[in-house]
Amino acid sequence: MRATIYYKTKKTSINLLIHLFLISVAVTCLYPLAWMVSASLKTQETIFKDFSLIPHKLHLNNYVLAWKEGGFGRYFLNSIFYTAAVVIGIVIVASLAAYAFSRLKFPGKNVLFIMFIAAMMIPIPGSFVALYVLLNKLHLRNTPVGYILAMINVGLSMSIFLLKTFFDQMPTELEDQARIDGCSKLGIWWHVMLPLSKPVLAVVVVFNALAVWNEYILALIIFDSRQFMPLQVAIKLFQGEFVTNYPLLMAGLTIAALPIIIVYLVMQKYIVKGVTSAAVYG
């Protein structure tokens, strides 16, 4: 107790500096968000003339218009479905694989892991055509399942990399304990590894959720039917070939940003909790 007070009082001045630093960075982060919201409340004519952050007239019905014209209802649900499916898929598949790479023994382990890592480093721009032809042959092209599987692949390498690195750092006492108690490998994965890796899992969730939520190129190319399209495709429609309806575009983007912010708000709590539970070291 005494130590913490000592720690605090000595540094009130430094505390102030730190706060200033944090606030100034925070302002630069907030400004674009504020601009986006304020632009969504203006009209096409005033958006580049009126430079104030709070517009004179609040055109709230831009949001209603954006929702209706963009047909957001269906696309919103689609995006949520894809994001949830892909995130859950990746969490399960990647953590299983990362656990195996970190703790289990089998021939070819290193080679396979290096292949995954290499995949992270060798992007394939222009792989859309290849994926299209492939999914076509598998009869998965115009289906949600095909899209979800392809998107799981996109984030797989990174997630396995992050999880394995984290698992490598974890002390093995709990696992040894669980094994002595008769837990199977799968049980260890479910009862020990997953709960303890909440911070990294949270990062994996956020990263992949963001990637899937913002994706539109692959969706546009492999989906023919309108009803499978995710939200970002609908937003692109506001960027016409010649005319861009900026206020509606901003309204649409604001609506689209909300779920991801919510996901982050929920997940960042787990990053806080960390591995400081007494159970590990007690």
Question: 151 to 210, contacts with other proteins by CB under 8 A?
Answer: 152-153, 156-158, 160-162, 165, 169, 182-187, 189-191, 199-200, 202-203, 206-207, 210
* Phi, psi of 39, rounded to the nearest 5 degrees: -65, -35
Q: Is 2 in the site for other proteins (CB under 8 A)?
A: no
Among 66, 193, 250, 255, binds other proteins (CB under 8 A): 250
Cβ proximity to other proteins: between 58 and 77 the closer is 77
Contacts 24+ apart (CB under 8 A), 209-213: 209/83, 209/87, 209/260, 209/263, 210/260, 211/151, 211/154, 211/155, 212/79, 212/82, 212/83, 212/86, 212/87, 212/151, 212/155, 213/79, 213/83, 213/256, 213/259, 213/260
Of 227, 228, 248, nearest in space to 237 by CA: 248
**Footprint (CB under 8 A) of other proteins, residues 98-127:** 99-101, 104-107, 112, 115-127
Cβ proximity to other proteins: between 65 and 237 the closer is 237
At closest approach, how far in Å is the CB of 58 from other proteins? 19
Angle made by CA atoms 41, 34, 265, in degrees to the nearest 5: 115
**Footprint (CB under 8 A) of other proteins, residues 32-51:** 32-33, 35-36, 44-45, 48-49, 51
At closest approach, how far in Å is the CB of 59 from other proteins? 15
Cβ proximity to other proteins: between 41 and 94 the closer is 94
Among 41, 66, 148, 248, binds other proteins (CB under 8 A): 148
| Tokens coding 64 | 């209603």
d(CA 160, CA 176): 23
At closest approach, how far in Å is the CB of 269 from other proteins? 8
